[in-house]
């Protein structure tokens, strides 16, 4: 059975004392877990027994004050990066074309990419969800020769931090759509798709029944170490 990747997107929820408490409390050793704290706290997490990821990356060869490049990330032992999160698309106007440049650069530097795609509530209500997801996936991955290190995170925007959830069947349909786009339009077989959006300790067991997914991208629930370890154990128990 495929080992499911479990990613904690810790966003900007922690202060220094929270980060220090987290690393003192989180004691598990997990090969399939990635923690993505704010970059200024990454050094605190270096001794945790999980992989570490960034919440964003900038494409190399361009001088841009305040950004972090793939080369810098690799030099620090970072293994993964989240690219294209809906919050960056919305607040920072990140386009699909910009996201494509970031994915290309990260792949070239052998970083594992967690590419976020998903429809807004308005797009869902207007029947445009599939169209939006197809465009996001195709544009972000166009021209990339090898997506072996890419996992696509289906995160319906309307589900992020809202406690609203698609049904398992709805998630399955979108996962299969993403896999079909990768195969038919990009020529990529066996694309890995993970789910994100209001995943918590109460609903993860039910979500974990979806056979078509390859893991989870978890936001708010990943910022509490005890809660996150409970979620990890529920997911991994499926694999034992």
Contacts made by residues 119-122, CB under 8 angstroms, sequence distance 24+: 119/156, 119/157, 119/158, 120/86, 120/157, 120/158, 121/157, 121/158
> Among candidates 194, 62, 63, 47, which has minimal Cα distance to 118?
194
Domains and their CATH numbers in the chain: 5-237 (3.20.20.70)
pLDDT tens digits for range 146-177: 788 999 999 999 998 888 899 999 999 999 99
pLDDT at site 2: 78
pLDDT tens digits for range 5-56: 999 999 998 999 999 999 999 989 999 999 999 999 999 999 999 999 999 9
Scanning the structure block, which residue is given the tokens 């929270």? Answer: 18
CA gap 69, 109 in Å, rounded: 10
CA gap 132, 56 in Å, rounded: 22
pLDDT at site 239: 55
Which residue did the predictor score with more confidence, 60 or 104? 104
Distances (CA, A) of 154 to 6, 11, 196: 14, 17, 6
Residue 186 above 60 pLDDT?
yes
* Residue 79 contacts residue 45 (beta carbons within 8 Å): no
- Average pLDDT over every residue of 106-121: 96
pLDDT tens digits for range 115-156: 999 999 999 999 999 999 999 999 999 999 878 899 999 999
Scanning the structure block, which residue is given the tokens 């999160």? Answer: 85
pLDDT at site 161: 85
Alpha helices in 46-194 (DSSP H): 70-75, 86-91, 96-108, 121-125, 129-141, 168-184
pLDDT at site 153: 98
DSSP designation for 132: H
pLDDT at site 1: 64
pLDDT band at 238 (very low <50, low <70, confident <90, very high): confident
pLDDT tens digits for range 61-103: 778 899 999 999 999 999 999 999 999 999 999 999 999 999 9
- Average pLDDT over every residue of 194-222: 96
Residue 240 above 60 pLDDT?
no
pLDDT at site 42: 96
Distances (CA, A) of 169 to 19, 30, 120, 145, 203: 36, 29, 18, 31, 15
Hey, which residues are catalytic here? 85, 155
In DSSP notation, 169-187 reads HHHHHHHHHHHHHHHHTT-
| Average per-residue pLDDT for the chain | 94
pLDDT at site 85: 96
């Amino acid at each position: 059975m495929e080992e499911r990747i479990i990613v904690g997107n810790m966003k900007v929820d922690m202060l220094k004392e929270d980060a220090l408490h987290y690393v003192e409390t989180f004691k598990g050793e997990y090969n399939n877990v990635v923690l993505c704290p704010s970059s200024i706290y990454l050094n605190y997490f270096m001794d945790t027994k999980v992989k570490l990821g960034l919440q964003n990356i900038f494409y190399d060869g361009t001088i841009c004050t305040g950004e972090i490049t793939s080369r810098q990330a690799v030099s620090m032992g970072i293994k993964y990066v989240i690219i294209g999160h809906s919050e960056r698309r919305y607040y920072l106007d990140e386009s699909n074309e910009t996201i494509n440049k970031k994915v290309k650069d990260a792949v070239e530097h052998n970083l594992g990419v967690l590419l976020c795609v998903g429809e807004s509530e308005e797009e869902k209500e207007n029947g445009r969800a599939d169209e939006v997801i197809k465009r996001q996936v195709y544009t972000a991955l166009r021209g990339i020769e090898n997506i072996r290190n890419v996992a696509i995170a289906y995160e319906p925007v309307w589900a992020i931090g809202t406690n609203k959830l698609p049904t398992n069947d709805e998630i399955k349909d979108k996962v299969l759509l993403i896999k079909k786009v990768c195969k038919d339009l990009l020529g990529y077989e066996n694309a890995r798709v993970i789910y994100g959006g209001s995943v918590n300790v109460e609903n993860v067991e039910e979500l974990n029944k979806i056979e078509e997914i390859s893991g989870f991208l978890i936001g708010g629930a990943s910022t509490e170490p005890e809660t996150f370890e409970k979620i990890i154990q529920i997911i991994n128990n499926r694999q034992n």
